[in-house]
A and B are shown apart, each in its own frame.
Chain A
């Protein structure tokens, strides 16, 4: 039985860099040694592995207290020895102390894939810059499952697993598991002032994954915990500012990573596929998620055999007609039943109908100030594009007047009526379609495998119809009421007596607009044939009163007249605006009902839960 010197502290360092070692030793030299205590330093050269080196040092010393540290770790706290002794003496069950640790190790074994605590050099500065993966411990100590290997302090000897860990990774996770299996606790104390500087620069991961797999095999309890907690990679894009899905997924208990990288939504370039693959490889994710469909991401997921969920909230979405949309790793939800019917004919293996929802907690009209009231109050407001300058007029010239006349007739045919029967689709002659299609670059047909008719109708005719209807509605309303339009670059000359304001920030300002406007209009794009667009969910989720054109699917979710109001024609719209501006109580009652309905039953968490069950069902292994 080995006899330990209870008044001795041994520093054990595996080294292959004399410069770093000397620096490390300098700081050790400067430590204050408590009365009655001695210290020794063992440096191991040419160790076959970290575990082998540490075992050699451990066996060679009779010190009760052992400090295993990297050669690039400098202990700057002169009272370090006194502090660790105090912690060990406070509880004999504490077997190990570290500087940074994770209370719960991630199910993939990677320490920084779950939140950590402790302190390290420059952490406070990083936190100010938005870094939130390490919680700065200000006092006391926290029990953790695993600590980072740059500093590991023990008061008991347990052999390092040099039998299975033959490299320079995962020795720390392994030793923590060994200590825990032996019944010991591992803690990370508050370190203010800072205890150590780990001057490692960027870490290397060249053999990391091999050792990770060994660790998961040897310690299956790592993979078993947090089993239901998915590791999700959420990619943002330049085109879509929404992030509610990511936060909803976190709220459902999953670990979501949002890298500092934006994907393209309308192309699949090699560079992006490579970048996405890098993120995927590093993170050992269960799922990748985006708003709408990112072909580059789909390609990366296919290449790495990882499930990819695309929450489609735009329509039409041409990217769904790209080759990448057909990959079996994709799971795509669309929110319009008619769109679902159309897309079902395409070769998309996992296509689902799922209505949109409110963006959750992060989209709410919090903190309305007096200034906000002045700025955003309105009788009638519409937040949306007018679809002008979309190239409709440029499709036709002197030689195609007849075709233009045909097109004009089609786009006017809906005539601000919404009974569920009006449509712009399947009305154009083949000649008109051919003419419109010929105006496009041939590359469009190579990139998107879609029907020319559908493309021309939804990208040209629908947009012109939208423009006509929105301008007509707004101008009609503005004759009698104060109307505010929040829009992007638009031809102001088309609009009469309308206050035009710039496009608003989605999360910070739009909720205020919806909350403070007495009536919020929704005028659904004609490309959305039956579904409920995002705007309706957004208005209701902040307690705004929503007056929307009729859409067939509305009644699947709402009671008209109770949760929101609906118009089927321009005349009905004008009547209802008149009415609800005069009947404030009723209007507010409807707004409150709509708010409650959406919050209770139509939050994005509800939708996500449902689709995740589908994605990870036994039918989709």
Chain B
């Protein structure tokens, strides 16, 4: 498609998308995603324009969230309180900029500032995980740092979802499991903590000791 045509197609697309985003219930978002899948203009342009790239990412996140969040009793999703492409951009950039701040050793108070915004917007761990990994050079390290900050704020479910998402893409990384175990432990979920620790391929002595203690504790509770 020539550039001039692309541009006019883009303007039409954005107009239509903004119209559809005025409703963000489950059915409307599902219809939006189906419409995007069938739209040849969207398929051609989705990698050429930032607003569409972010929308595409949000759609992927939403699908993932619909599989997992209900099990956690979480009703909000990435499209909650989103009513335009500008809203998507704002949320997307909050996560991206948070990751960049963390990655570039910006003083912690500034990282926490932005993290607070992300929490306030009820953005799930799945969304954070996906955007941080795709947008930054040291994705996993950034995830671990953000997980620690979330833990300090007792945003444990967000942290765990984020770590679980990251772990799927990096199953060999024991640090992710360790951090996840830390979150479960903070929430006093001993069995879940133990589950994580047992997955660690090369547990050091302190982890082994913790595993033993947890096993004792769980057995004692069972008895």
Chain A residues engaging chain B, CB cutoff 8 angstroms:
19-20, 23, 26-27, 30, 74, 76, 121-122, 125, 197, 199-202, 204-206, 208-209, 274, 277-278, 281-282
A218–B1 CA distance with the chains assembled, in angstroms: 29
Neighbouring A residues of B93 by C-beta, 8 Å: 19-20, 23
Does the CB pair B100–A204 fall under 8 Å?
no
From A197, A202, A277, A282, give the contact of B100 (CB < 8 A): A197
CA distance A74 to B98 in the complex (A): 13
Residue B48 at the A interface, CB < 8 A?
A: yes
How far is the CB of A283 from the nearest CB of chain B, in Å? Answer: 12
In B87-122, the 8 Å CB interface with A consists of 89-90, 93-94, 96-97, 100-101, 104, 106-107, 110
| 10 closest A-B pairs by CB | A201-B50, A206-B7, A76-B104, A23-B97, A122-B137, A19-B93, A281-B2, A274-B1, A202-B50, A19-B90
Interface status of B27 (Cβ within 8 A of chain A)? no
Indicate if B49 sits at the interface (CB-CB under 8 A).
yes
Contacts of A204 in B (CB 8 A): 49
B53 within 8 Å of A (CB atoms): yes
Q: Does B3 contact A (CB under 8 A)?
A: yes
Within B54-103, the residues touching A (CB, 8 Å) are: 89-90, 93-94, 96-97, 100-101
In the complex, A208→B93 CA distance in Å?
A: 25
Q: Is B145 an interface residue (CB 8 A)?
A: no
B22 in contact (CB, < 8 A): no
Could you pull out 16 A-B pairs where Cβ atoms are within 8 angstroms?
A19-B94, A23-B93, A23-B97, A26-B101, A74-B104, A122-B137, A197-B100, A202-B48, A202-B49, A202-B53, A206-B3, A206-B7, A209-B3, A277-B2, A278-B1, A278-B2
Residue B208 lies at the interface, judged by CB distance under 8 Å to chain A = no
Q: A125 and B137 in contact (CB under 8 A), knowing A26-B106, A278-B2?
A: yes
A203, closest chain B residue (CB): B50
A125 partner residues in chain B, CB cutoff 8 A = 137
Chain A residues in 8 Å Cβ range of B100 = 74, 197, 199
Contacts of B137 in A (CB 8 A): 121-122, 125
Q: Does B153 contact A (CB under 8 A)?
A: no
Q: Determine chain B's interface SS by DSSP, over half rule.
A: helix
Q: Is the CB of A205 within 8 A of B3?
A: yes
**Closest approach, in angstroms, between the C-beta of A190 and any C-beta of chain B?**
18
Question: CA–CA, A123 to B48, complex, Å?
Answer: 20
Residues in B whose Cβ lies below 8 Å from that of A282: 3
Q: Which residue of B lies closest to A20 (CB)?
A: B93
Q: B107 and A202: CB pair below 8 A? A: no
Cβ–Cβ < 8 Å partners of A281 in chain B: 2-3
**Complex Cα–Cα for A335 and B90 (A):** 60
Q: B170 to nearest A CB, angstroms? A: 16
Q: B47 on the interface (CB 8 Å rule)? A: yes
Known interface pairs A205-B3, A206-B3, A281-B3; A199-B90 also in contact (CB < 8 Å): no
Contacts of A121 in B (CB 8 A): 137
When C-beta atoms are compared, the residue in chain B nearest to A208 turns out to be: B3
The complex places the Cα of A76 from the Cα of B7 at a distance, in Å, of: 34
B115 to chain A, nearest CB (A): 14
Chain A residues with Cβ under 8 A from B89's Cβ? 19
Residue of A nearest to B52 (CB): A202
Highest count of chain A CB atoms <10 Å: which of B7, B47, B53, B100: B100
A69 vs chain B, min Cβ distance (A): 16
Chain B 1-40 near chain A by CB (<8 Å), digits 1 or 0: 1110011000000000000000000000000000000000
Q: Which residues of chain B are within 8 angstroms of A23 by Cβ–Cβ distance? A: 93, 97
**Distance in angstroms between the alpha carbons of A205 and B4 in the assembled complex:** 10
A197 to B7 alpha-carbon distance, docked (Å): 27
Q: Which residues of B contact A274 (CB under 8 A)?
A: 1
Residue pair B96, A199 in contact (C-beta under 8 Å): yes
Bound form: Cα–Cα A281–B101 in Å: 38
Take A19-B93, A121-B137, A202-B50 as given contacts and tell me if A26 and B2 are in contact as well, using a CB distance cutoff of 8 Å. no
Taking CB atoms, residues of chain B closer than 8 Å to A277 are 2
B1, B89, B104, B137 — which one has the most chain A CB atoms within 10 A of its CB? B104
* Inter-subunit contact A30/B1 (CB<8 Å): no
Name the distance in Å between B56's Cβ and chain A's nearest Cβ: 12
Once bound together, how far apart are the Cα atoms of A487 and B97, in whole Å?
55
Shortest Cβ distance from A124 into B: residue: B137
CB distance from A259 to the nearest CB of B (A): 14
| B residues less than 8 Å from A201 (CB atoms) | 50, 53
What separation, in Å, do the CA atoms of A20 and B93 have in the docked complex? 8
Q: CA of A209 to CA of B106 in the docked complex: distance in angstroms? A: 39
Contact partners of B96 in chain A: CB under 8 A: 199
Contacts of A278 in B (CB 8 A): 1-2
Query: How far, in whole Å, are A199 and B136 apart by their CA atoms in the complex?
Result: 10
* Per-residue A-contact encoding for B116-139, CB less than 8 Å = 1, 0 else: 000000000000000000000100
User: Across the interface, do B3 and A30 meet the contact criterion of CB distance under 8 Å?
Assistant: no
- Assess the B3–A202 pair: CB atoms within 8 A: no
State the Cβ distance, A275 to closest chain B Cβ, in Å.
9
* Chain B residues closer than 8 Å to A205, beta-carbon distance: 3
A19 to B96, CA, bound (A): 12
